[in-house]
Structure 1
Amino acid sequence: MPSSDVFRPAKPETVFDRDAEWNALVAFACDDRPGAGLGVVTGRLRQGKTYLLEALAGALGGFCFGAQQAARAESLRRLGDELARHTGSGPARGTGWEEAVEAVLALGDRRAVPVVLDEFPELVRQSPELPSVIHTAYRRLRDTGRDNRTRLLLSGSSLPVMHRLFGAASPLRGLADLELTLRPLDFRQAARFWGIDHPRLALLVHAVVGGTPAYRRYAGDDAPGGPDDFDAWVCRTVLNPGTPLFLEAHHLMQEETDHWDRALCHSALAAIASGCRTQGEIAERLGTPLTDASHCLTLLRSSGLLYGEPDAFRPNLVRLRIAEPLLAFEHGSVWPHRQALEQQDAGEVWRRARPVFDSAVAGPHFARICREWALDFADPAVFGGHPASAAHGSLPDPERRAGRDVEAEVVVRGRADGRLAPLLSVGVARWDEVMDTPHLEHLRHLLGLLAARGEDVTRTRPACYSGVGFTPALRAAEADGQVVLVDPDRLYRGR
């Protein structure tokens, strides 16, 4: 076990949240047991990986090298120069990665020390032999019994490449002592990060920029001053050609999709934002063969820009959803107006786009946040058990015409324990609709359909999620224990 006497630095005040991630990195970096360690840090672009790793290296006197898109010789030269500045010695004279890796690992010959190679895939792009070189160096350390305590951290934003570099066929497979993923801030963390204490405004802002920390800086540290400032904030930030946010969705696609057909990827995202959810629907909307659409969607999923959500009642039905809110905002409401934004006043363009944003972007995003709340923040007593999943669910209704399913945006299931997961709750989510007793009747009808299919619904609790409130009649039903009601205030402050 690591010694409890080892100095463990507190997280710098400049690092927002990320307590669990900081503690995991510090535990790895300060582990004083003999033997070199290897850690892997992944996460999509703009999540703060570099900032966190630089803070770790600074707090512990470690070394951090940020790779760039560069030729092999230039990367080796930069690494040698930065290593020389760090150690106070002359520049390394080696010409290959064998010498460079040996010099990097030598930093841990006297003490446990973090050594960061940030954006590792950029190094491997020009030097495919690098993973094998690192594997050989670690094996040599182990075979010689050298007392080396380097804590090497390899970081990367390209998720497909990182998965491949540490996959089954990689020489680095099995070497990692730490595997850490930095995810976007959750919706509550994001509200605190932006300094927003109005729940509905926080939801609107999250529907635009999500939980990516870098986007506040990209917006010039400009947060909306209140609910009435949201439209003006959109115009002066994400729709303003003078801010980095204006073209961020375009740059994000360029960086994540590399050399693939970006036009097809943009069109696929626009199709999903418009309501297409399956590969077949997307291919039909694009007018492209299913194989081409499938390749494009696989790329977007492997990059972390899309994810598939199995239907809560029909698991074989998988709905595709856009993972990055900024991309959903771009392709759901701004995409048709891109050319106009170059020529017209942003306020006028946004007035035309705002209704589409409310229905096609904010509405689905609200349902997504409700599912997150049910899974991660709701007290187990709310649903009578510990939620294990929260998903969208739909069933065909024999009383309706073909193609019209009965839907519930928030279906909560408990832990399975090898059996069919218990159905804890079915709920509907309406962003811009005051909810009334007909919504409760809708849920009761759905529960009847589920019971007819053999689902145990005796303990299933109906739930209504509204962005604008509930009628007195529905509040009375809540008081009688007939329904769970959740509004933005409860999403952000309650359980």
Structure 2
Amino acid sequence: MALSRPAGMFDREREWRALTAFATDPAPGATLGVVSGRRRQGKTYLLRALCAATGGFYFGADEATDRDSLNRLGAALAEHGGAPAPFVFDGWHTAIDALLALGRERRVPVVIDEFPYLARANPQLPSIVQNAFAPLRPERDDSRAALLLCGSAMSFMGKLLSGNAPLRGRAGLELVVPTLDHRLAAEFWEVADPVTALRVNAIVGGTPAYRREFVRDDTPAGPDDFDDWVLRTVLSPTSPLFREARYLLADEPELHDISLYHSVLAAIASGNAQRGGIASYLGRKSSDLAHPLNVLEDSGLVTREPDVFRDNRTTFRIAEPLVTFYHAVMRPIWSDLEHTRDATRLWQRSQRRFLGSVLGPHFEQVCRSWARHMAPPDLFGDYPNVVGTGAVHDPAGRTSHQVDVVVFGLDDDDRRPLLAIGEAKWGERMGLGHLDRLRRIRTLLTAQGRFGAEHARLACFSGVGFHDDLLEAARRDDSVVLVTAADLYRS
């Protein structure tokens, strides 16, 4: 049964369809689902709306002792069912059975939000849920409860259904609520100018709560208001955004040595994208970084992206724009920001770091995302199957050429033909020099006899436009693709 999406809900159509289908599934027996996603993405809003639409039960856990959480759950269940007194549970076995009992008469969603808090106080809880959903168990078979476990601690939630985890094979739904992409974020922030939209996105990304709760719907009125918006929001000590990047790490239970993880993120934000560069920045051995990088990746704060041309080379990227902005712009001047009455001069002096370490890399990533998921179907000659970045060795020049956007297709023999190589420049008007560089790289790849590179298109992405000579070259040569900031926001 399809449920109408709440009128105040922005987008999240895919997530709402998945949740409502799960919560109204007519099949017999209790079912288990897992919902995760980074903080501030609207998971709680989705789940509360689901319970409101279906008469379901919602329980939001908090950091408490095991006994206190059981008491709170007993009180919440009693209130939900209109019982005269709170239920008293001697442990989680009986508590989970009581939750399943809510579905004896009909399919009903039963939500436990912030499940990692409960599991931190009682590490046996995932195993207890596993036992509750064991086959041929009457409490499960006679129930039609749709139990949803939700959490924001990505390092924990990502392992809940993996490998030999107790709940592996038990769940019928695994839903990750993502951040909004750059197009949806611009629509959500109501920023019509594409250049301003990309600047805003480079700072706050696609996290919905940053507009609603954190800046109280304060959005840039236009291009001329962007700097003032930065000063009155993310650089203002009175704004919740000011300290948010520091708190994001504290939310992850796996991050014990916070200072080490901040240092790793600072190294990446400074342009050290490979493990060796990060190690040099920190004054440590590369082997010392395996654990912190893995934990940051599990937490959803860092992504590991392989070089598309060299299997043994990996690039690390910060996944949350606000964290990049904090480490590149705010952290070096943190004390001044905390104590100044007017951060205008500090922001002006930070423009080089903002453009080079924040806006430029973010523009490149948006270009890759656009090429993979949003570009017109015929722009690259075929469907983009893999889009990434990579380095091409130039023996004659004794150097390597970094390629910002590499687009691969997929043929019927599972081979990856190279569809396009591209260069992205945020603050630079691009000309024939950029096109000549791409032609040189295409020639190098063709000489390697790999990927069918001789047919690859050459794409130039620019935030400020193109010189006339490049525009003329694109008119004469169908293999030259020019993409502006406005193109990135066209449907």
| Band of TM-score, shorter chain | over 0.9
* Structure 1 partner of 2:297: 301
**How big is the shift at 1:169?**
2.3
Residue 333 (structure 1) aligns with? 329
Cα deviation, 1:337-396, whole Å, max 9, x if unaligned, reads: 111112222111111111210111100100100001100101221000000111112112
1:16-415 alignment, distance < 5 Å = 16-89=10-83, 90-139=85-134, 142=137, 146-216=141-211, 217-256=213-252, 258-344=254-340, 345-401=342-398, 404-415=399-410
Distance in 1 separating the partners of 2:6 and 2:245: 30
Residues 421 and 438 in structure 2, CA contact (< 8 A), matched pair in contact too: yes
SS in 2 for 1:167: coil
Paired letter, 1:493 = R
Matched residues in 2 for 1:174 and 1:140: separation? 12
- Contact 1:257/1:299, CA 8 A, preserved across alignment: no
- 5+ long unaligned stretches in structure 1: 1-5
Query: How many angstroms does 1:69 deviate by?
Result: 0.5
Q: Give the superposition deviation at 1:165.
A: 2.6
> Structure 1's 300 and 144: CA in aligned 2 closer, same or farther, altered over 3 A?
closer
473-482 or 201-210: bigger deviation: 473-482
Q: Shift of residue 259 of structure 1?
A: 4.7
TM score, norm. by length of structure 1 = 0.95
Task: Look up the equivalent residue of 2:246 and give its one-letter code.
Answer: H
Contact 2:134 2:140 in 1 (8 A): no
- Tell me how far 1:303 sits from its aligned partner: 0.5
Please say if residues 40 and 176 of structure 1, whose CA atoms lie closer than 8 Å, have aligned partners that are also in contact: yes
Q: Quick one: which amino acid aligns to residue 379 of structure 1?
A: P
Point out the more displaced range, 43-52 or 250-259. Answer: 250-259
In structure 2, C-alpha distance between the alignment counterparts of 1:187 and 1:379, rounded to whole Å: 16
The C-alpha deviation readout for 1:312-344, integer Å capped at 9, x for no partner, is 211321100000000111112222111111222
Equivalent residues of 1:106, 1:150 under 8 A apart: yes
Give the corresponding residue for 1:3. Answer: none
Instruction: Spell out the pairing of 1:429-444 with structure 2 (5 A cutoff).
Output: 429-444=424-439
Deviations 1:186-211 (A, max 9, x none): 10000001001110100000000000
Counterpart amino acid of residue 336 in structure 1: P
- The one-letter code sitting in structure 2 at the alignment partner of 1:180 is L
2:485 partner letter: P
Alpha-carbon shift at residue 134 of structure 1 (Å): 1.8
Q: Which amino acid aligns with 1:302?
A: D
Taking the aligned partners of 1:323 and 1:363, their CA distance within structure 2 comes to 15
1:473 aligns with 2:469: yes
Output the aligned Cα RMSD: 1.5
Give the direction of change, closer, same or farther, for the CA distance of 1:259–1:463 in structure 2 (3 Å limit): closer
Is the contact between residue 305 and residue 322 of structure 1 (CA under 8 Å) also seen in structure 2? yes
Mapped contact 1:257–1:300 kept (Cα < 8 A) = no
Matched, 1:460 2:456: yes
1:251-297 CA-to-partner distances (Å, cap 9, x unmatched) read 00111265522111111111111111111211111002323322211
Q: Which shows bigger deviation, 124-133 or 187-196?
A: 124-133
Matched residues in 2 for 1:352 and 1:79: separation? 52
Say whether the 8 Å CA contact 2:255–2:261 is kept in structure 1: no
Provide structure 2 residue ranges, at least 5 long, that are not aligned to the other structure. none
State how far apart, in whole Å, the 1-side matches of 2:285 and 2:406 are: 33
Secondary structure of residue in 1 paired with 2:73: helix
Q: 1:447 maps to which residue?
A: 442
Structure 1 residue corresponding to 2:417, chosen from 406, 422, 426: 422
Q: Quote the Cα distance in structure 1 between the aligned partners of 2:255 and 2:431.
A: 50
- Report how far residue 136 of structure 1 moved: 2.0
1:136 & 1:399 partners in 2: Cα distance? Answer: 64
The worse-fitting range, judged by mean Cα deviation, of 141-150 and 357-366 is 141-150
Supply the distance in 1 between the matched residues of 2:248 and 2:440 (Cα, whole angstroms): 43
State the Cα deviation string for residues 3-38 of structure 1 (Å, max 9, x = none). Answer: xxx4x3211012110000000000000011111111
What displacement does 1:166 show?
2.1
- Code of the residue aligned with 1:82 in structure 2: it is A
Partner of 1:491: 488
SS of the residue corresponding to residue 139 of structure 1 reads coil
Using the TM superposition, give the Cα deviation of residue 435 of structure 1 relative to its aligned residue in structure 2, in angstroms.
Answer: 0.6
Query: Could you state the TM-score of these two structures normalised by the residue count of structure 2?
Result: 0.96
**Counterpart contact for 2:97–2:139, Cα < 8 Å:** no
SS of 1:458's partner is: helix
Kindly state the Cα deviation for residue 137 of structure 1 after the two structures are TM-superposed.
Answer: 2.0
Deviation at 1:173, TM superposition (A): 1.4
1:13 matches 2:10:
no
Q: CA deviation at 1:416?
A: 5.2
Larger deviation, residues 168-177 vs 439-448? 168-177
Task: Give aligned-pair identity as a percent.
Answer: 49
Q: Find the aligned partners of 1:298 and 1:433 in 2 and give their Cα distance.
A: 35
Contact kept in structure 2, 1:36 and 1:151, CA below 8 Å: yes
Structure 2: how far apart are the matches of 1:160 and 1:301?
Answer: 8
Q: Separation in 2 of the partners of 1:291 and 1:436?
A: 42
Contact 1:35/1:142 (CA < 8 Å) preserved in 2? no
